[in-house]
Chain A
């Protein structure tokens, strides 16, 4: 039968505020996590990654936090700008071989209000 369509989680933030996008991952063996940003009409673009031996990693205006206890990943965007409006995907990769596939989450749509 037909699958039920997913409602993409949405987040609206005021320009200049901080954004927090959350992601729950499924595989406790996953040891590498990536955040991607996908703007309308474009492919996903790598933002930041983190390995499971870390709980925090910072980039330019972005921070990724990893909580392995509850299998939770978050992306924090500081001083959100209109250009940050996009769909954000988390991805996980696990196992010990390089052939383990990357599993993508459904995505969160971020809208920045000018």
Chain B
């Protein structure tokens, strides 16, 4: 596989469920990101990992828990979500080598919370 892959592509879960989203990048990048994309809103940055360490957390509720076991994999653990958390969750990766940095996105996981 090439680029950034995400699984599952679609997920429906109840508010009491626990699920995890997975992202894998095949680009040799050293940074990975989670974004939330809701209807009628710009992309919202949730988490940033650089060299497997979290460097940014944009005040995301604790019901979202990221995990980055290595530079190629990123997880988003979901627990006790709310219906307003329904959105497209996008993973991205980049090579953090300076100011000129392009993020490459996966196809996203479409999440519906009932």
- Please count how many residues in chain A sit with their CB below 8 Å of the partner chain's CB atoms: 31
A95 touches B99 (CB 8 A): yes
Query: How many angstroms between the C-alpha atoms of A61 and B86 in the bound complex?
Result: 36
Q: Would A99 and B42 be within 8 Å (CB), given that A32-B101, A46-B104 are in contact?
A: no
Residue of B nearest to A94 (CB): B99
A70 at the interface (CB under 8 A from B): no
What's the tally of chain B residues with a CB closer than 8 Å to chain A?
A: 27
Chain A's closest residue to B91 (CB) is A43
Q: Tell me which residues across on chain B come within 8 A of A51, comparing CB atoms.
A: 100
How does the 8 Å CB contact mask read for B33-60 relative to A, with 1 for contact and 0 for none?
Answer: 0000001111101001010000110000
Instruction: Mark interface residues in A51-69 (1 if CB within 8 Å of B CB, else 0).
Output: 1000000000000000000
Determine whether the beta carbon of B106 is less than 8 Å from that of A32: no
B96 & A98 in contact (Cβ 8 Å cutoff): yes
Q: List 19 A-B contacts (CB under 8 A).
A: A3-B41, A5-B40, A8-B40, A31-B99, A32-B100, A43-B6, A43-B90, A43-B105, A43-B106, A44-B90, A44-B105, A93-B99, A98-B96, A98-B97, A99-B48, A99-B96, A101-B45, A102-B45, A104-B43
By a beta-carbon cutoff of 8 Å, the part of chain B in contact with chain A is 4, 6, 39-43, 45, 48, 50, 55-56, 90, 92, 96-108
